[in-house]
Amino acid sequence: METSTLGMRNLLKILGYFCLWIMAEAQMKIPPETVQQWASVFSVQLRDFTTKYSGSLLLQKKLKDVESIIRIAELDGGESLRDYSEEIERMLGSKMKSVKRLAESAEDADLYHEYNTSLQFDYYNSMLINTVDEDGNYVELGGEFPLEENEHFNKLPVNTQQSNIQVPTNVYNKDPKLLNSIYNSEGINDVFISNFQRDPTLTWQYFGSSFGFFRIYPGIKWTSDSTGVVAFDCRNRNWYIQAATSPKDIIIMVDISGSMKGLKMTIAKHTINTILDTLGENDFVNVIAYTDYVRYVEPCFRGTLVQADLDNREHFKLLVDELHVKGEAKIKNAMKESFKILNEARMNGQGSMCNQAIMLITDGAMEDFESVFEEFNWPERRVRVFTYLIGREMTFAQNTKWIACNNKGYYTHISTLADVQENVMEYLHVLSRPMVINHDHDIIWTEAYMDTVLPNTKELFNTKAQSLLLMTSVAMPVFSKKKETLSHGILLGVVGTDVPLMEVMKLVPRYKLGAHGYAFLLNNNGYILAHPDLRPLFKDGKKLKPKPNYNSVDLSEVEWEDTDEMLRTAMVKGETGTITLNIRASVDKGKRPLYLTNNYFYTNIAETPFSFGLVLTKGHGSLMFTGSVSVEEGLHDLTSPDLSIASEWTYCETDIDPDHRKYSQYQAVIRYLQGKEPDLECDELLLQQTLFDAVVTAPLEAYWNTLMLNERLEPGVETAFLGTRSGLMRLMRYAGTETRVAKKFLTPSDKDNLFTIDHFPLWYRLAVENTPGRFYYYPVNDKGVKYVIATTAATVSSGDKTAMAGAIGVQMSLDWLEKRFWAIAKQPSDTDCSNVEGVCPLSCEGDDLNCFLVDNNGFILLSKERNDVGRFFGEVDGSIMASLIKMGMFKKVSLFDYQAMCKNSHHHASDARPLLSPFYVIFALMRWLFSNAVMFLLDFNFCGLWHSDYFVDAHKQKKVDALQPCDTEYPGFMYDSSIKEANSLIKCGRCQKMFVVQQIPDSNLVLVVTQATCDCSRQFGPILLQPKEIKYNATVKCNRMKSQKVRRRPESCHAYHPKEDAKECGGASAISFSLPLFSASLLLSPVLLLRRT
C-alpha cells in the first residue's frame, strides 16, 4: 500500500514538472514576425510625427532650392593653421610689448630715485580703500577710491584710472624700504593706462615688488580670507618666480636626526614645502632625508631628478609630511649623493641643464665636509649650496654659513615658523644675480593656471567652459640699473599681465572647424593649456574644485590614440606639420563612442613656448558651404523672435572699444548690419553665412506657427529646433512653460545643447554622424526630468560634394512615446489563439512581457518602468545584453580617461599647500614653551603667528575617502545596424528566457521584447558602464612617475656671471674655514649627540 502511494506521489511530481515545462515552453513563444510588425508600424508613426513637428522636409527642400547659388569648398587645414597662428602671435606679441613698456618704466623710475629713509608717503592700500572709522573719516592708507563694475574684468568693481597696492599681512605696510619702492612704482600707473588704451583686450596688469607689495591695475578692493588676513604674496606666484630665475635643478637635503624633533621638524617640513612651491614645470627636483644613512623620501626617485610639475610637487609634500626623526646626522654621505645626482644629470643632458643647487635644511653641520666640495664642486662651483639653520641654537651657525658662502649660495637662520617664507625667497634673489647683472630681460610665459585669488572664482567655475578656464601670464624681470650696485644684481621685482586662454582660442573661429573639429594649445613640456577635452575641475560633494594635477595634463592623456606620441613629440619640438589619426571619440559625457578620422595640423607660436594645433574631421568636417544674400533681406529674417546666435562666439569684436562692451553678440551684429555701429570689427564671412542661414531657415518660423495655430497639437510635443554651422538657432515652444516637461532644454543654462566656444550642441554632433534625413533618437535624464530628443542632419550639395548645412529636430515628452507605443505593441483582442501555445494575445503592457526601446548606444528610451529611461540596458537586463554582445549586435568600445578622480581612503593631507593647522601649531608651541620658556619669550615672533599660512585648515589630517587623480578604463557600446533582428533562448536555472530584438526602420532604435516571468539575474549580473581604475604594479607606477617625456627646454639660461658678488651670502662676508672653530664644534658634538638619541 505504502509502495503504491509512494509511486503515485512520484507520478504526480513528474506530471507537475511536465506541466511546468509545458507552461515554460508556452511562455517562450514570442513570434518574431509579430515584433517585426510592431517595429514597422511604430517606425512609420515615429517618423511621421518627428518629420511633421520638426519641419525637416521643408528645411531640406529650401536647401535644395538654393543649391544653384551656393559654393562648397574643402577647408585647407594648412592655410587655416597659418592664419590662426599668425593671429595668436599678433595677440600675444601685443601683450609682450605692454610688459616691456612696464619694465622700462619701472627701471627708469628706480634709476633716478634716491633712497629716503624718512619718506612719508600715502598710497592706496587695496585692503583699506573706501574704509571709514567710527567718526566717518577715511582710515590711513584708505581714502576714497571710485570703483565701477566692468564687464571686461568679469563684472568686478574696478578703477580703470588708477592702480592700487596690496600688501601681505606679514609685510609691514609703512616700512621705509617698502614706501620707497611703492613711491618708485607710481610712474607705472600711467603706463598701465596707456597700455590698456593701446590694447583694450588687456586684462590685469601688475608689478610684483621684491619687497612683497603688489601693484595691480585696474585698482580693486582686495578682500581678506576667512581668517581676516591677506595670504597672497606676489613673490610666491609662478609668474614672479619664473621671471626672476632661470630653470633649475634642486636637491633638498633635510636633517631628520633626533635633534630635529618637535617644532624644529615642523619648521623643516614647512621650509621644504615652501621651496617646492617656488618650483615650476621647467625645474627638476628630488628630496633626500638623512641621518646616519641617506634616505630618498620617494625610493622610486633614487639617483635621479624628476620634473617639478604639480603632480610631483604634491607627491613630495605628502611624503615629507610622513617624515620622522631618528638617529644622528651624517651630512657627508648625503652631500656626496646630492652632488652625484646633479653631476650625472648635467653629464647626461638631463634635468634643466641650467642652474643647479642643493638646499641643506639642518639644525647644525658638524662633520668635515670640505673634502666633499673639493671632490665635487670646487673650483668651478657649478652647484650652489643654500643652507637653512633650523631652531634657535647657533652652535654650528658658522659652519652652516661657511657651506653657503663657499659655494655661491646663501645662509639663512629660521628660528620661527614666521621666518620661513621670507628666508626661502632669498635663494631666488641669488639665482637671479647673473641675469640681473647681464640685464637679460627674458620674457617668460607661465604654465597654465587657474586664478583663485579674485573674488568671483566660483561663479567662473559654473559659467565658463571647463576647457577654457585656465590662463597664462607673460612676465619680465625688473632690474636696478644703478652702476654702484651692478655687481650685487638687485632684482626690483617682476611686471606682468594675465592672458585668459579663452581669449586666445576665440581667435580660432568655431564655425570653420565643424561639429567635431577643434583647436588646442600646449607648452614646451607637452602640457595642455587649452583643449576641449581638458577637465580641470572635479565635483567634491556639491562644490566644483580644481583637480590636484589640473595644469599638468599631458597631450598624450587626451589624445591617447597617439600611441607612438608622434603628434606630441613634433609639437613639443616646435615643428610644423600634419598627421592623420583614427580615433575613438565620445560625446554626451563620454557615454556615446564615435569612430572618427582626424587630420591634425600643428605649428609653434613664435617667441613663446607654445605650440598650436588644429583638428579637422575627415569627410563632412572638412567641407564648408557658403551662400550670399543681401543685407536687407537677411536682416529682416535675422530679427525674427524665434532666432538667436551663439552668444559665446565672436561675430563682432565688442571688447576693443569700451562703448561696445555693453552689447551682446546679437545686438552688435544687428547694429553693425543696420549701420549704427560701423566701427565694429566683424567677421564678414560669418555674418554673410548667418544672413544666408536666416533667409533659408525663415520659412520654418511660419511653418511652426501654422502648426501651432491651425493644427490640433498632439500632447507630448514640446519644442522644435534647428541649428546651422554659423551658430544660428531657431526654436518653437509648442508647449507652455507650465506644461513643458523639459523646462531647461535650450535655455541659457543648457550648455550641452547650445553653440558654445568649445563645442557644437550635442544634438547637432549626434545628427551629423547619422544618415541625413533619418532621425536619431536619444533619451535625456536631467536630474530626474526625463524626455526624448529626435534630431537629423540637413545637407546641401554642389557638384559632387555634399556638406552639412545644419541639424533640425524635435523634443518630446515620454507621454507621447508611451501612448503610441503601447497602443501598437499589442495583438488585437480578437486574435485567433487556437493554434498558439503559450500566452495569447501578446501585449507589451501585460505582465508576461517586458518591452524596451533601446538606442544605438544601449540606452533605454522606453520601458514599463519609467525609472529605466536613460539607463544603460545592460544595467537593467544583463542576460539579454550579454547575448546581444555575443551575437555581435552590440559591440564594446574601450575608452580611457586619464583625468579621472578615484576614491582613495587613507590618512590624507589636503592637496592645498600643506600649512599648519591651529591645533598642530598650538600643540608644538606648548611643547616648546615648557622646555624652552625663557628663550621662547626672547625669540618667538608672535606677529608671525597670525600669518594666514599657519592658520588655515589645509593640513587637517583625518580619515577621508579622498578623491585622487587616477587613470580609468570604461566601456561604451555601438549597435551594428547591419544586424536587423535577433532572437534566442537564455537558460537560467529552472527556466528559459526568450527574447526577440527587432530594428526600428529609419531610426537608430531597436525594439527588445522579452519574457518577463524568467528571472536570470542570479546567472547573469548587470553590465555596467562604471569606469574601472587602471591599477599599476609598483615597478610600472615608479617608471611612469619618473619617466621624462620629450620636452623643449627654455631657450635662455643664466647660471653664471663673472662679475657676480658671491660674498653676499647671508648677512656676512665670505667666511674662511676656521680649523680651531671647527674643531671646537666637533668637540661639542658628543654632548649634542646625547640630546639626539
* Peptide bond preceding 841 in cis form (omega within 30 of 0): yes
Segment (H or E) for 23? helix 2-27
Average pLDDT over residues 698-723: 92
Alpha-carbon dihedral angle through residues 286, 289, 294, 296, given to the nearest 10 degrees: -40
What is the per-residue pLDDT for 21?
A: 42
Task: Specify the pLDDT at position 1091.
Answer: 37
Residue 986 cell numbers, joined: 537564455
| CB contact set of 62 (below 8 Å; sequence gap of 6+) | 696, 697, 699
Local structure of 1067: helix, strand or coil: coil
| Runs of H (alpha helix) within 464-550 | 501-505
| Residue 953: band (very low, low, confident or very high) from pLDDT cuts 50, 70, 90 | very low
| Residue percentage of the chain with pLDDT more than 90 | 68
pLDDT at 367 over 90: no
pLDDT value of residue 500: 92
Render 74-130 in DSSP notation, one character per residue: E--HHHHHHHHHHHHHHHHHHHHHHHHHHHHHHHHHHHTPPP-TT------BTTTTT
Rounded to a whole number of angstroms, the CA Rg of the chain reads 35
Enter the pTM of the model. Answer: 0.88
Q: Is the pLDDT of residue 489 over 90?
A: no
For residue 379, is the peptide bond before it cis, meaning its omega torsion is within 30 degrees of 0?
yes
Residue 914 has pLDDT above 70, yes or no: no
Cα 27 to Cα 842: distance, rounded to the nearest angstrom: 10
684-705 confidence digits (pLDDT tens)? 999 999 999 999 999 999 999 9
Among the ranges given (3-7, 121-125, 353-357, 528-532), the one the predictor scored with the smallest mean pLDDT: 3-7
Residues 55-85 have pLDDT tens digits of 999 999 999 999 999 999 999 999 999 999 9
Average pLDDT of the residues of the chain: 87
Half-sphere exposure of 655 (CA within 13 A, CB side): 18
CA distance 99 to 201: 14
pLDDT at 25 over 70: no
- Angle (CA) 546-547-549 rounded to 5° is 125
Q: What is the pLDDT of residue 276?
A: 97
Q: What is the mean pLDDT of residues 102-127?
A: 92
Q: Which three cell numbers stand for residue 1063?
A: 660674498
Decide if pLDDT at 521 tops 70: yes
| pLDDT for the residue numbered 430 | 93
Return the residue matching grid coordinates 584708505. 142
DSSP 350: -
Distance CA 651, CA 670 (A): 11
pLDDT at 1093: 36
* Residue 1085 confidence (pLDDT) above 60: no
Grid-cell match 663673472, residue found = 1058
* C-beta neighbour count of 1027 within 10 angstroms: 18
- 502 Cβ contact list (under 8 Å, min separation 6): 464, 465, 468, 469, 530, 757
Closest listed residue to residue 283, CA positions, set 302, 307, 263 = 307
Q: Is the pLDDT of residue 808 over 50?
A: yes
CB 649 within 8 A of CB 662: no
pLDDT tens digit sequence for 1047-1056: 999 988 999 9
In this predicted structure, the answer to whether residue 14 has a pLDDT above a threshold of 60 is no
Q: Is 411 left (phi over 0), alpha (psi -120 to 50) or beta?
A: beta
Q: Which of 100-114, 640-654, 1063-1077 has the lowest mean pLDDT?
A: 1063-1077
pLDDT in tens, 258-311: 999 999 999 999 999 999 999 999 999 999 999 999 999 999 999 999 999 888
Query: What's the whole-number mean pLDDT along residues 951-968?
Result: 60
Segment 90-95 long-range contacts (CB within 8 Å, at least 24 positions apart): 91/201, 91/503, 91/504, 91/507, 92/445, 92/474, 92/499, 92/504, 92/605, 92/607, 92/608, 93/607, 94/198, 94/199, 94/201, 95/199, 95/202, 95/474, 95/497, 95/499
Confirm if 894 and 233 have CB atoms less than 8 A apart.
no
What is the structure's pLDDT at 463?
Answer: 54
* Higher-confidence position of 150 and 194: 194
Task: Give the distance from CA 1051 to its chain's centroid.
Answer: 27
CA distances from 808 to 532, 714, 763 (A): 24, 19, 9
Provide the 3-class DSSP secondary structure of residue 999: strand
Higher pLDDT, 696 or 4: 696
Q: Which residues contact 887 (CB under 8 A, 6 or more apart)?
A: 979, 982, 984
Confidence of residue 1088 (pLDDT cuts 50, 70, 90): very low
Q: Residues 944-969: what's their mean pLDDT?
A: 54
Q: Is 280 helix (H, G, I), strand (E, B) or coil?
A: coil
Phi, psi of 8 (to 5 degrees): -65, -40
Residue 7 pLDDT class (50, 70, 90 cuts):
low
Q: Which pLDDT value is given to residue 9?
A: 54
As a dihedral over the C-alpha atoms of residue 480, residue 484, residue 489, residue 492, rounded to 10 degrees, the angle is: -30
Residue 582: CB atoms within 10 A of its CB come to 10
| pLDDT of 490 over the 90 cut | no
Helix intervals (H) in 665-801: 665-673, 684-710, 762-768
Which pLDDT belongs to residue 223? 84
- pLDDT exceeds 60 at position 460: no
Residue 19 pLDDT > 70: no
Q: Is the pLDDT of residue 779 over 50?
A: yes
Continuous segment of H or E residues that includes residue 25: helix 2-27
Above 50 in pLDDT, residue 157? yes
**Region 249-253: what's the mean pLDDT?**
98
How far lies 805's CA from each of 66, 615, 666, 693, 758, in Å?
12, 20, 21, 9, 19
* 103: its cell numbers: 619694465
Is residue 938 very low, low, confident or very high in pLDDT (cuts 50, 70, 90)? very low
- The set of cell numbers assigned to 539 is 565635483
What is the rounded CA–CA span in Å between residue 569 and residue 557?
13
How far apart are alpha carbons 181 and 492 in whole angstroms? Answer: 8
Average pLDDT over residues 987-1007: 94
The grid coordinates listed for 814 are 515620454
The predicted-structure confidence for 830-882, as pLDDT tens digits, reads as follows: 777 767 666 778 899 988 899 999 999 999 999 999 999 999 999 999 999 99
User: How high is the pLDDT of residue 459?
Assistant: 53
Strand order from edge to edge, sheet including 444-445: 164-166, 214-217, 205-209, 491-500, 471-479, 444-445
Greatest pairwise CA separation for the chain in angstroms: 128
- Once rounded to an integer, what is the mean pLDDT over residues 525-547? 90
Q: What is the pLDDT of residues 36-53, one digit of tens each?
A: 999 999 999 999 999 999
Instruction: Give the pLDDT score at 769.
Output: 93
Write out the DSSP string of 183-215. Answer: HHGGGHHHHHHHHHHH-TT---EEEEETTS-EE
Q: What confidence category does residue 909 fall into, taking pLDDT thresholds of 50, 70 and 90?
A: very low
477 pLDDT band, cuts 50/70/90, is very high
- How many whole angstroms from its chain centre is CA 1052? 29
